[in-house]
Amino acid sequence: MKPLFLLTCLIAQPLLAIDYALVIGIGNYQDPSVQKLSNAKNDVTNYNHILNHWNVNKKNRIVLLNKNATKANIINSLSSIAENIKKNDRFFMFFSGHGTSLFDENYEEQLQKAGLKNLMQNSGAILPYDFNPNRLSETLIIGKRKLSKYIKEIDQKGVKSLIVFDACFAENSIRNKSNKWINRTPHILTNNQSYPYKNIIYIASSIIQSQSGTFSPILEECLNKSKNLNKLKICINKEISNSMQIPAILSNQGKTTIFK
């Protein structure tokens, strides 16, 4: 698998600001042909620890685990948050599960047969719990068609957010201004002029065909160590470099303190 995640800068909240959180973990899929992921439930636990660390009210958390993480529930939850969230609020989103793209050897032929070649060009997709390989067009959550829409809406409101995607090929959820996809690299890159988001720091880590990832505990550990963005990036880079994963970080923020 190719886990990855988006990390956006969070700042201190003004009085009356609200935290919103959406946590999604899918280890057991409805279709038995989809490979199980042994770490998804633990990822949800680790991400809730992060939310506890930053005092996110449990009443404002939506947690979708396994059978509750259907396409409709994921889209409706994200759409509702994008509609209601306001500037100075904070948004946390975590996804742990499967993803795919035209580069995925497991579904490449089916994606083309389903007529998704053009739609999936330069786009990744995540697999909700009710994903059906025989109904790809209806059951995939395609980044370009769904995810980018709501992430862009939240970003344009000036909301500082932490968005984590731990899923194969989810790197294709982010495009640069030239409409080309950002290549992953083991380097830390800041102030990237082609990067399209003002408030999102993009971090990707890659590992091929793994049933479990190591990222969620690394993220929790590094966030607890420092609020400084550069130190956080160094910590993540170091920890993931000790595993089979390859980190990449993109940002327009430069030197920034996270969670002041």
Range 155-191 burial, b when 16+ CB lie within 10 A, else e: bebebbbbbbbbbbbbbbbbbeeeeebbebeeebebe
The pLDDT, as a whole number, for residue 32 is 94
CA atoms of 226 and 228, how far apart (whole Å): 5
What are the residue ranges spanned by the domains of the chain?
4-250
pLDDT band at 1 (very low <50, low <70, confident <90, very high): very low
Confidence category of residue 248, pLDDT binned at 50, 70, 90: low
Q: Which CATH class is domain 4-250?
A: alpha beta
Cα dist. 204→56, 60, 174 in Å?
A: 24, 27, 11
pLDDT at 229: 67
Q: How far is CA 128 from CA 29, 95, 173, 253, 255, in A?
A: 8, 10, 15, 31, 35
Q: Is residue 20 scored above 90 in pLDDT?
A: yes
Helix (H, G, I), strand (E, B), or coil: what is residue 242?
coil
Whether the Cβ atoms of residue 201 and residue 250 lie closer than 8 Å to each other: yes
Q: Residue 61 forms beta bridges with which residues?
A: 21
Instruction: Check pLDDT > 70 for residue 176.
Output: no
Render pLDDT for 54-100 as a digit per residue (tens, 0 to 9): 889 999 999 999 999 999 999 999 999 999 999 989 999 898 888 77
Instruction: Give the whole-angstrom CA distance, residue 91 versus residue 247.
Output: 23
Question: What tens digit of pLDDT does each residue of 32-56 get?
Answer: 999 998 888 999 999 999 899 888 9
- With a cut of 60, say whether residue 141 has pLDDT above it: yes
Residue 63, pLDDT score: 98
pLDDT tier, 175 (very low <50, low <70, confident <90, very high otherwise): very low
Query: What is the average per-residue pLDDT within 185-210?
Result: 53
Q: Residue 223's pLDDT band (boundaries 50, 70, 90)?
A: confident
Query: Which pTM does this prediction carry?
Result: 0.79
Q: How far apart are CA 166 and CA 25, in angstroms?
A: 9
Q: What is the mean pLDDT of residues 173-198?
A: 47
Helices 229-241 and 215-225: crossing angle in degrees, nearest 10, is 140
Other C-beta atoms closer than 10 Å to the C-beta of 214 total: 19
> How far is Cα 73 from Cα 129, in angstroms, rounded to an integer?
10
